[in-house]
Structure formats: C-alpha cells, structure tokens
Chains A and B, each alone.
Chain A
C-alpha cells in the first residue's frame, strides 16, 4: 500500500494504482480524455499531466503508477499551462459547432474549456483543417471526424472489448482521423457504447441525435429488461418520455457496457402504450374509469371461483414483472383465488440470440426471480394452456402480452376459449386485443422493484417518473384487486412488499433495499 500526497493530501492506495485513480479517491479530479476505467491506458491526450517530485518532466497521471513517498501536484502553474496548452491544441481545428452538436451539454471539450481553458482563440478560423462530417459509420453510429480529438477510446473499445476493430486511425499528424475501411463499417452488437465513451461529439447515436438536449434529461438507476443478464443502466428521461439508456458501471455484471438490443428496449416505455383502462364488450373497446372497472373485475373473478370452482380460474405471470410484483401475483393466485393454475411464460423461447459476452438467450429480466418465488415456468404454462384450449378456464388473468411460443393467430384462437380475460399490461399487443378487461400498468421506468439476473444477482431498478396516462403501478393494481377479494393488504410501494417478501422467501431472507445497494447482491441458493 504505497502512501503518497496529492496537493498535500495524504492518500494510501493499493499497489499498482495510478496517480489518476489515487487522486479520485481523495476527490481531486484530474482532467482526461483518453483514459477510461475499462480500457487500456493510451496516454495520448496529455490532459492529465501532473507534477511529480523528482521527475524532471510532467508525468501523465493515467499511466504513472503511485509509489511510496510520491509527492504529486496538480495545482502548479506548470501543470495548469500544460493542461491548458493540451486543451488549446485539441480545440484549434475543432469546428465549435456546439449549437448543432448533439454532445453539447455532456461534452468533454465544453466542460474542460470552462474549468481549465477559458482562453481566447489564437488560431485563425480560416486555417482550420476540415474533415468529413456526418458519416454513417454503421450500427447506428454517426461519425464526425472534425469534432474528433483522436483520444483512441473507440479504437481501443473495438479492439479490446468487441475484438471487431472496425475503427482505425488513418493518415498522420494533424490530418489524422478516425475512420473505417471502405465497405467495412462498424458491425457489432455493442456499437452504442461508442457514442457513450466518445468524450466529444465525434461519435453520436443515430437513435438519440436531435431528440432531446441532454441538459433537460433526468436520470434513474435502472436495470435493462432486454435479457436475463440484467445490465446496470441509467435511464434518461424528460417530461414522461424515456430517451435513452446508458450503461452504469458494475464489474460483476456488465462492466461499463451494454448491448444494442438492450439499448433499444427503452422504446417500449414510449411506444404502443396502454394508457387507459378499458373493457371490450361485443368486440368494442370502451374506456372505463379505474373506480368503475376494478369492482367489476373483482366481481367476475370471485363469481367464477364461486360458481365454477377455483380450478376454472388461471393466472399467467410474466418474468418481466419484478420480484415484488411476482410475490403478490403468487399470493393473489394461490391464496385469494385459491387456484393451482399459476405459471409464468416468457417473451422469447430459450434459444433466443446470445453471445459469449452480455447477450443472454432468455429475453426476460426476471425468470430467475420467478423461479425463486415458486412460480412454475414453461411446463406448468403448457398445462394451463391445455386447460384453456379445452374450455376449462372460465376466468383468466394475464400479465404482459405474450403466451409462450404461440403465434399471434394461435394466441387469439386460444384466448377465444376463455369467457373472461383480464390483462395487466404496459403495451398494446395480441393479448390486449383479446382481453375483456385491460388494466394498463406502469412501464419499467415508471415503477421500481428488483430482478434476479441469470447469475442469481438481485438488482434494483428505480422509478424515474410517475406512470403515464391513467396507467397504474402493477403493485397498486394487485393490492387494489387483492383487497377487493379480501386480502387486507396494506402495502404501499415496492419496498414494503420487499420487506414482506424478505421475511417469508428463503433466497431473499434478511435482505433490504439498503443491502442491495445500487450494484446488487447475490441471492441465497
């Protein structure tokens, strides 16, 4: 554990720690562009130069390992001049097109200009070197070579993380630029990360470009719902619209990355939403207030149980639901309806696309949680489906929009056999086109809870904003419906459900939201 001082502040760090990381520990920010926590050290931007006693020249903090007794200064005139000089160099050919640049507001050049630059331009506008702008670099990435500061983060990412090496340096000196070989643009499933790691506006996301200025965006810690990996993400939203996902660093799960499929999952919070409860009478949809609809639904369900027996009622759950929701669903089915017809079914079969990095074949975030909470999966679902097709089910509650591997036609045919179907769902789909009562639920960014990922890691996602339209939190819907069936639930919010869950369910015993933290923890097995 070398001990060193940085600007007079003593710090003790593990062997091998760089000055830059050591400084971070004591809250001293050393400017940098090329350094990235999850990529190799390049040392080429020269923004992190610091003074180290006994070294004749300034040293790059990103590449210099802290040693015992080191005396580091980041606040001397020599350091300030070198850093300001490096920034000035980076800006001399920069187009300064911030007003039309999507990076504005989260741009390393803007940020450091305000903190360490503030110099007047000494370079004539007419002598700036121009490079190609708005190039389609493939995989949804737009490349603007003129804004590029050649930090090589993207090149290293494609070399070290994806191994696909599409982007390279071309030409030399101040004509250097990042580009790709003709006809060989970026082609991998992790390209979105390039827009994230680019510290300037050189690589931007075609999907996000020009849709929202970043300073309007608010952020919520979340978990990607695209597959069972459970990549840690930040959900960025503004006025009830979810705009994008960014990966959140979690070395136990996704390091600093996420895949492009997961990245596009955000759209589900915006598109084809069910925003008001409705009933379908004689094939005609009729909007109905919650207050009028819920007693009807409760009545129909209890009638079915009373008249035909609990065996004629079924509940189909979804691994898109949180543990908290699934816990209530299980109680709802087993205790309130008293039926054994409970199963979960998944949005894509097990053999979904996968790779050896982050993309998992199970396209649901919480299959593991459903299993741990004792909700049976595919086999039980097929048994329930069999009962439906034989006309044995009089009332059916479906969460989500998917019935296993059934085609759209197959689903409609199956559902035509059930006289009463209630759907609790977020998006329009085949089930909502067949259901007799549709209860719109909050999207994953409008509610909070926990998932268990494919490796048995319990992770928490948080609500960013209130449910859109008249949609309601799934927990709220379940509590409302449950209490109408005599549950006597007093849950309010996901945390109160989790407290109950962690008391009764062995894999979660003793856990609290506090102990899950923002990076999650392993469940007990």
Chain B
C-alpha cells in the first residue's frame, strides 16, 4: 500500500534536514515556487484533502475562504494542540517528520501569500516542541523559511507557540485567542477566522496532518492523492489504535479503511483472547459503536451514515468486561474538567453530567437519572458557541443509547455490576 506521510518515519535521520532532503524533501516546495499560486490551490482541491483535525472540512475549500484582497496581511495558524483523548497521530508526525510539516506550511503560505505562520503546539508536547524548533532552525538556515525563501523574494516567518494545557485550545478560534495571549475561549462566529482571525487578520487554521499531506500532493499530483482514498476522501489517514489490542499504535491507511479490519487485522485483534465490546472510532467525542456495528469504512460520509464520526481516527477499543457506565464517567470527568466555562449549557451541563453519571456508577443512581442525563444532553447539544458541548453530549447519548441496560442495572442494583469501586 502506498503511504504519504509515514513512508520514511522508521528512518531516524528523516527527522533532520539532511535525511529529509535525502528522501526528496523540500522538492515539492522547490517545484511550487515556480508554479502559479492558483495552480497549487487547484491541486489541493483536486486532492479531495479533508481536514484531519476532526471535522473533516475540505481543505481546498477552506483555503479558498481567505479573501482575494491582499491588502491586509494574512496568517496561517497550524493546529498542533492535539488533545482529543485517543488521538496521538500529530505527535508521531512532529517527532518523526517535523520537516514534512514545515514544507507543508511553506507551500501553503506560498500558495496563499501568507508571510506569518504560527504553530500552536500542545503544551505537554515538550519533546516535540524541541524537535520542531531544531527543524525550524535547520529550515531557516537552508533557506526554506525566513527571508527570501529559495531566492524567490518570498518571506515567511514561522513562530512556535506552546499551549498551556487546555483541551479547548484545540478549537480553532480558541487557538487563536490563546495565541493572542487571551483566555482560550472560542469566539462567536461569524466573523469566521478567514475574515477576522489571529490579531484581527484573515487567518487559515489547519491541522498538522492536513498540512503534511500537501508536499506529497504537489509532488505527485492531486488526482493521485485522491485516488489513494475514495470519493470525497482523498489520500490516507493516520489511524491511532489504543486499548487492549495486540499491536496498538498509529497506522497509515487509505482514507476508506475498514474499522473492523483495522482492529482485527492491522492491530492484531484483542489481547489475551478478550472479546470486543465497543469501539469509539474517532477520538473520545465521537459516538460509540457496538462490536456488531464496526464493519464500516473510515470515510467521513460512511461514518456519518453509521451514526458516528471519523473524527481524528483515534480508535479506542473497549473489551468485554468493561463497565460502560464507568467508561462514560471517565469521559464525563474529562469534559467537565476541560469545559472552558464560557457558555452556560456546557459550563454547567458538563459538570452536571459528571455528577449524575458518577453517582450512577457509584451505585447511588436514582430512578429517572438516565432520563435526566439525556435531558441535560438535549439542553446542551447544539446550544453553545463551539462544539465542546456536543463533544461531551455525543458519548453520553451514544453510551446510553447502546448500553442502556447497564445504566439501568446500576440504578436497580445500587452498585456497579462489574464490581468497580471508587
């Protein structure tokens, strides 16, 4: 199978600029600077590259949202604030192929006449930040970044900004606020970042993985990239498998890889002869699937039809014997802890969900508690500035929807039937 991103990740030297260039690195950038700018954007559109940050928005279309008028400087913000539980794909890229990202940034900026790029990296990714900083030094010294890129007269300043540990700062307008030194609160839209973004300027926000596909697309052509995947979902996805499988890790697979195959073939199935109970397919906020529902492909439309989302392709494998109430309780703790506190339904609702799911798990649930959880979810879903409320609601609704019996048993028996104790 052809790979786009991870082809040389096994080679340690690929992390350095010489190793990267030895594999043809920065060749795409060199090619791009002699191309008309619109042709670069056109290639990305043809590639059917979908955003890899979770929402799956077509990247070429998003690039096209930047105003045509160049009188105001525009900004690229690279979202490296990977925080979705179950997701660790960008981390792999940052530690193994930092120049891939820098080349992607350089091409995107050149194509869109952007002279200022900010990489907003998750605070906990200290090692990755160090690697990236070294790579940026190397790229500057080699003339791929900084003043007069490749002698074209095009200037590109890239700044690395480390976050301070908030999940919400991965939401693009929150990223921008945090980057500006403000509290990491999502912004009310419109205006969208493409019009008023970082420092009030037109801004493009792209995920790390999204941008890393760009050099390959320009090297090999958008159509070839599109052909790696399926309709509307070009290229490959970095699928992260976590949980008790034989070979957990990140796998680069076609964008329409089958979830069941990923778990049972690619990752080698469950360890110690465990049976599969459930799967969260695309990071913790995507609706859970029962074991009998996983014969689906990762392309965004198929996942949506199956009632869930491809999200970040962070597959969380849940084995038989796991208490789903406990699992949900863990997730609810996470969202309550990470709610930024800006809008009422999420600020108060996530805490309330944590409280009620927690008491059900602790054997102190009351009749009506499950209905209460669902009603609180209903009062949150789609009623906030950003999607974090939905991110908390989707697991709650799907865990109850698919494993209702376990919740009812907790309440009826006044204890966790799986023997979990707090």
B-contacting residues of A (Cβ < 8 Å)? 41-47, 49, 56-58, 60, 63, 81-82, 85-86, 88-90, 92-93, 122-123, 127, 129, 149-150, 168-169, 171-176
Contact = CB atoms under 8 A, between A and B. Distances in A.
Given A44-B385, A122-B372, A173-B340, A88 B347 contact: no
Most chain A beta carbons < 10 A, residue from B344, B378, B382: B344
Contacts of B379: 81-82, 85-86, 88-89
Contact of B383 (A42, A82, A127, A149): A82
A85 B345 contact: yes
Contacts, number: 89
Interface string B379-395: 11011110000000000
Contacts of B350: 173-174
Contact of A89 (B337, B345, B378, B385): B345
A144 to B, nearest CB: 18
Contacts of A89: 344-345, 347-349, 352, 379
A122 B378 CA distance: 15
Interface of B: 166, 183, 188, 336-345, 347-352, 355, 372, 378-380, 382-385
Contacts of A57: 382-383
A93 B188 contact: no
Given A85-B383, A123-B352, A172-B340, 9 more contacts: A44-B342, A46-B344, A46-B383, A85-B379, A127-B355, A171-B341, A173-B337, A173-B338, A174-B339
A510 to B, nearest CB: 48
B121 to A, nearest CB: 20
B398 to A, nearest CB: 19
A174 B385 CA distance: 16
14 contacts: A44-B343, A46-B345, A46-B383, A57-B382, A85-B380, A86-B345, A89-B349, A90-B348, A129-B351, A150-B347, A172-B338, A173-B340, A174-B341, A176-B347
Contacts of A60: 188
A489 B199 CA distance: 67
Contacts of A44: 342-344, 385
B383 A150 contact: no
A57 B345 CA distance: 15
Contacts of A175: 341
Nearest to B368: A122
A173 B336 CA distance: 6
A42 B350 CA distance: 20
Contacts of A86: 344-345, 379, 383
Contacts of A172: 166, 337-341
Contacts of A41: 188
B352 A150 contact: no
A81 B374 CA distance: 14
A127 B337 CA distance: 16
A93 B348 contact: yes
Contacts of B383: 46, 49, 57-58, 82, 85-86
A169 B384 contact: no
Nearest to B166: A172
Contact of A173 (B183, B339, B382): B339
Nearest to A93: B348
A121 to B, nearest CB: 12
Contacts of B342: 44, 150
B127 to A, nearest CB: 26
Contacts of B345: 46, 85-86, 89
A296 B372 CA distance: 81
Main SS at interface, chain B: helix
Given A85-B379, A127-B355, A45 B336 contact: no
Contacts of A81: 378-379
A89 B345 CA distance: 6
A140 to B, nearest CB: 27
Contacts of B343: 43-46
B348 A92 contact: yes
B280 to A, nearest CB: 22
Nearest to A92: B348
Contacts of B340: 172-173
Contacts of B351: 129, 173-174
B272 to A, nearest CB: 37
Contacts of A129: 351
Given A46-B345, A89-B349, A172-B166, A58 B382 contact: yes
A455 B219 CA distance: 69
- Top 5 nearest A-B pairs (CB, nearest first) are A85-B379, A176-B341, A174-B351, A89-B348, A173-B339
A44 B385 CA distance: 7
B341 A63 contact: no
Contacts of A56: 382
Most chain B beta carbons < 10 A, residue from A89, A122, A169: A89
Contacts of A82: 379, 383
A150 B183 CA distance: 14
A173 B184 CA distance: 12
A198 B183 CA distance: 21
B20 to A, nearest CB: 39
Nearest to B389: A46
A44 B336 CA distance: 17
A43 B344 contact: no
Contacts of B384: 46
Nearest to B346: A173
B352 A92 contact: yes
Contacts of A174: 336, 339, 341, 347-348, 350-351
B188 A43 contact: yes
B250 to A, nearest CB: 30
B166 to A, nearest CB: 7
A108 to B, nearest CB: 13
Nearest to A56: B382
Contacts of A92: 348, 352
Given A57-B382, A92-B352, A173 B344 contact: no
A171 B183 CA distance: 10
B310 to A, nearest CB: 20
A430 B279 CA distance: 85
Contacts of A150: 341-342, 344, 347
A156 to B, nearest CB: 13
A149 B347 CA distance: 11
A92 B353 CA distance: 12
Nearest to A43: B188
Given A85-B383, A173-B351, A42 B339 contact: no
B376 to A, nearest CB: 8
Contacts of B341: 150, 169, 171-176
A46 B382 CA distance: 11
A138 B341 CA distance: 25
A159 to B, nearest CB: 11
A41 to B, nearest CB: 7
B344 A45 contact: yes
A400 to B, nearest CB: 50
B177 to A, nearest CB: 12
A138 to B, nearest CB: 21
A123 B183 CA distance: 29
Nearest to B167: A172
Contacts of B166: 172
Nearest to A90: B344
Contacts of B183: 168-169
A41 B345 CA distance: 18
Nearest to A155: B183
Nearest to B343: A44
Contacts of B378: 81, 85
Contacts of B338: 172-173
A231 B348 CA distance: 39
A61 to B, nearest CB: 13
Contacts of B344: 44-47, 86, 89-90, 149-150
A72 B340 CA distance: 30
A322 B348 CA distance: 53
Nearest to A62: B188
A63 B338 CA distance: 25
Contacts of A63: 188
